[in-house]
Amino acid sequence: MPFGVHLKETILSYIRINKHFIHTPYLWLGVVETAVLAGANLGIQDVLGFVPFLPGAVVFALILGCCTLAMGVYGALLREGIASLVLRVLVSFCLLGAATLFILGQLWSLDCFTSKAVFWSVIAAGFIVVPLRMAFRALVDLNQLRRRVVLFGAGAKAQKLLAELAPEKSTLAIEVVGCIANNNESVAVDQSLIMPEPSDWLSFAKAEQISEIVICPDERRRSDGSEFPLGELLDCKLAGIDSSSTLSFYERELGKIDLSSLQPGWMLFSDGFKYSKRSLWAKRLFDIILAGIFLLLMWPFMLLTALAVRLESPGAVLYHQTRVGLNGRHFRIYKFRSMRQDAEKSGAQWATKNDARITRVGAFIRNTRLDELPQLYNVLSGSMSFVGPRPERPEFVVDLAKQIPYYDLRHKVKPGLMGWAQLKYSYGASVDDARHKLQYDLYYTKNHSFFIDILIMIQTVEIILLGKGVH
């Protein structure tokens, strides 16, 4: 493989951290930004006459990096315009970052966290980071720098995969250059994408600078009796050209598991769906500590919320529902009441957009997620975790399990206050929405770890601040 192609593969590939796939362009950007932010803080320390303190500068950089992630800047880099990028940077640095650093400065008396040092460091960081991200956006958006992928398959599976990739096209460092039909396969993709099956796969892959071949035919048997090109595809793999199944490609690029391709054997033999007792105990300890901290910080807001609910409409301040938890066990979930007292006099119903049953106070506490603060009790009692699939009502679970294959698998992990599906998919209130969300819940069930839990918690800040996905 030529050096330039090899370098591109290294830079624009992906890495797996604690079972979660990270696209390396964003990882490289994060590393460079951390160094730049730490350098900005060190420079300001020096200008202000302080003795430069490297550990403090690294903490400064990491906090601003987490604030950037919380405001969805990395995900929005290639999706949105320059104005949106600048606005997100300003909010993440000037509001979240500065507030966090000011609190840290009260707890940790260091020159680098004084109000003056924080103010000028954040200003300097903004002037440096915005041009850096604009340069990154321009670089990664060039099609010639994307990893070139070919689909071996041009039927319904290939078309479904292309449809799933289309909304994420600008954020993925890949380009689907074409589809190769598997010997008389019924073609469902756009004819402009069809490529003839090569007589020599390795030569074809080298000539087209293919980085990966995704195996996704509707049927692997060949109608003319010829052999599936296993040997030639293996030659490509040995030459450094990746090959992957539809399931693996979905999981890595889209952060979900394709239900239509899922087989029981894959779940049994894959490297996921396994948890150690040590990791489960660590997760439980983390939940208890975090829930305790949140209760200490949020009890004034809980008191005010309870008062507002009680003053606006008659009825109980709290309400409870039965939900399905770990291994299908039922438990009571608690929330501040956001609907009228008689909201379900006709039985259980899906919440809908602009639901008339929601009160004015209820709309506000739903948007800010204040209605879910009583669930800290569920976390402390052990029926829920901070991160996991959102628990559903038994009435809906029975129906969904009949209509959606593998739906009960989401109950193999403890339900949570926040989840991967809530980050990746908008609020769902139908069987079809539940099917889409299950794909993300299964990804979390298969790959959950401390790393992905922290990632979800940080990114949930954007959901809360911008009121996304609320009905």
- DSSP string covering 75-118: HHTTTS-HHHHHHHHHIIIIIIIHHHHHHHHHHS--GGGSHHHH
Tokens 């299908």 correspond to: 328
Give the pLDDT score at 90. 74
Edge-to-edge strand list for the sheet holding 242-245: 194-195, 174-180, 147-152, 212-215, 242-245
Radius of gyration of the chain (CA): 25
Give the pLDDT score at 209. 87
Give the pLDDT score at 214. 94
Give the pLDDT score at 6. 45
Tokens 């403890």 correspond to: 414
Beta-carbon contacts of 307 under 8 Å, excluding residues fewer than 6 positions away, are none
Give the pLDDT score at 7. 42
| pTM tops 0.85 | no
Give the pLDDT score at 373. 93
Query: Phi/psi of residue 5, each to 5°?
Result: -65, -40
Give the pLDDT score at 343. 58
Provide the 3-class DSSP secondary structure of residue 333.
strand
Give the pLDDT score at 429. 67
Q: Which H or E run contains 177?
A: strand 174-180
Tokens 């929330």 correspond to: 335
* pLDDT by position in tens, the chain (length 471): 444 444 444 445 666 666 666 767 777 778 888 888 888 888 888 888 888 888 888 888 888 888 777 666 655 555 556 666 677 777 777 767 777 777 777 677 777 777 888 888 888 888 888 888 777 777 665 555 578 899 999 999 999 999 999 887 766 778 899 999 987 788 999 999 999 999 899 999 999 989 899 999 887 776 555 667 888 999 999 988 888 989 989 988 888 999 888 887 777 777 777 777 888 899 999 999 999 999 998 999 999 999 998 888 888 899 889 999 999 999 999 999 887 765 565 655 656 566 667 888 888 888 888 889 999 999 999 999 999 999 999 989 999 999 999 999 999 999 999 999 988 887 666 788 889 999 999 999 998 888 889 889 888 877 776 665 554
Quote the CA–CA distance of 245 and 258 in Å, as a whole number: 11
Residue 73 and residue 52 in contact, taking contact as beta carbons nearer than 8 Å = no
